Amino acid sequence: MADNNSLPGGESLQQQINYQVIIVQILVMIFLCINLLLIVTFFKKECFYTTTRYILFAVTLLSDSFLLFMSNILLIFNYFRVAMQVWLCIIISVVVLVYVTVTPVTLTAMTLERNVAICMPLRHGELCSTRNTIHCILIIHCLSSVPCIVILSTFFVSASLSFYKQYQICSVEVFIFYMWQQHLRSAIYQFQFLIMCIILVFCYVKIMKVAKAASGEDKKSSKKGLRTVVLHGFQLLLCLIQLWSPFIEAPFLHINFILFNNVRYVNYIMFFLAPRCLSPLIYGLRDEVFFNALKNYVSFDLIKQVYTDLGCRLVFTRQNSQ
């Protein structure tokens, strides 16, 4: 069987893949830098790390950043065809599989927090205390671990002991031997996202009822909460479509490899990277308090840097003049 690079147009395929990998590296670096800036801003003010919605926002930033970093390493390993032993791939995949789900579950928790803040304002302080928020983060990680536990459990049952020492290109497909494992994985993820969507719709309906009955500042706050819930819903939809990506890509593999590569690339950008950059836009820029803190932090650092550079130049000038 001929290698893809020896086929007509193989050189252009290699150039195209190089171009795509470079673009992904640029996007990942941009998203990581933005997330790092927002995380630093989060720790600058006490009101942020003592308020539930900002703590959950920081959880999404950390999980998205970690997932982007790990998935990018796997992408590079796959691109350069770097094989590793299966047991090492299992360790890396556990982290990736857990944090793929952490962000959607955290978004659902943030939606519930907005529902409590708008529909039950008198109980908000009690239900959304810092201690309860820490418990909520633990529950989020436990729920996010369920698909990973199921996928790896079916793998441990099916794999022989010698398979763990074999060298493989690390991907989730390594753990799937039979079609029923793939269907089970898809069913668990889709059931999990169905529950999240039901919670999202429930919160939206309740907030909408409060928005209709409210007036003045309460009405404005309720409408802002509705917009936030809608954006969470859109982000959850992108995460859900990510689960369908393998089914979308599979038919193109039998038609044309270049077409398959393009479809997979678009899916990665649209349904993997895009949902991970929406959190900063939804809470980092739309939230007035956080945005002002971010603006003050960035402007203060720029002004400080300008004065530092100016001071260094003045000292340098005086030394030269002497």
DSSP for 175-213, please give it.
G--SHHHHHHHHHHHHHHHHHHHHHHHHHHHHHHHHHHH
Structural domain range at position 209: 17-213+220-245+272-286
Q: How many C-beta atoms lie closer than 10 Å to residue 8's C-beta?
A: 7
Residue 33 belongs to a domain: yes
- pLDDT at residue 5, as a whole number: 46
Q: Is residue 41 part of a domain?
A: yes
Residue 288, token pair as written in the block:
């007035």
Note the residue count of the chain.
Answer: 322
* DSSP secondary structure code for residue 164 in this structure: G
8 Å CB contact between 279 and 39: no
Distance CA 130, CA 124 (A): 12
Tokens representing residue 287 in the block: 């939230």
| DSSP H or E run through 169 | strand 167-169
Residue 1 lies in a domain: no
Distances (CA, A) of 156 to 71, 92, 172, 180, 213: 23, 16, 14, 15, 55
CA nearest neighbour of 68 among 247, 276, 302: 276
Residue 143, pLDDT score: 92
The reply to whether 75 falls in a domain is: yes
Q: Is residue 38 part of a domain?
A: yes
In this structure, what token pair is assigned to residue 86? 């299966």
pLDDT at residue number 314: 37
pLDDT score recorded for residue 4: 45
pLDDT digits (tens, 9 = 90+) for 30-64: 888 888 888 888 888 777 888 888 899 889 889 88
Residue 194 placed within a domain:
yes
The pTM assigned to this predicted structure is 0.80
The whole-angstrom separation of Cα 28 and Cα 272 is 11
SS3 123: helix
Let me know if residue 314 belongs to a domain: no
Residue 81 lies in a domain: yes
pLDDT value at residue 309: 45
Looking at the structure of the chain, the number of domains it has is 1
Supply 134's token pair: 């820490």
What residue ranges of the chain have pLDDT lower than 70? Answer: 1-17, 214-219, 221, 243, 246, 250, 253, 257, 300-322
- CATH number of residue 57's parent domain: 1.20.1070.10
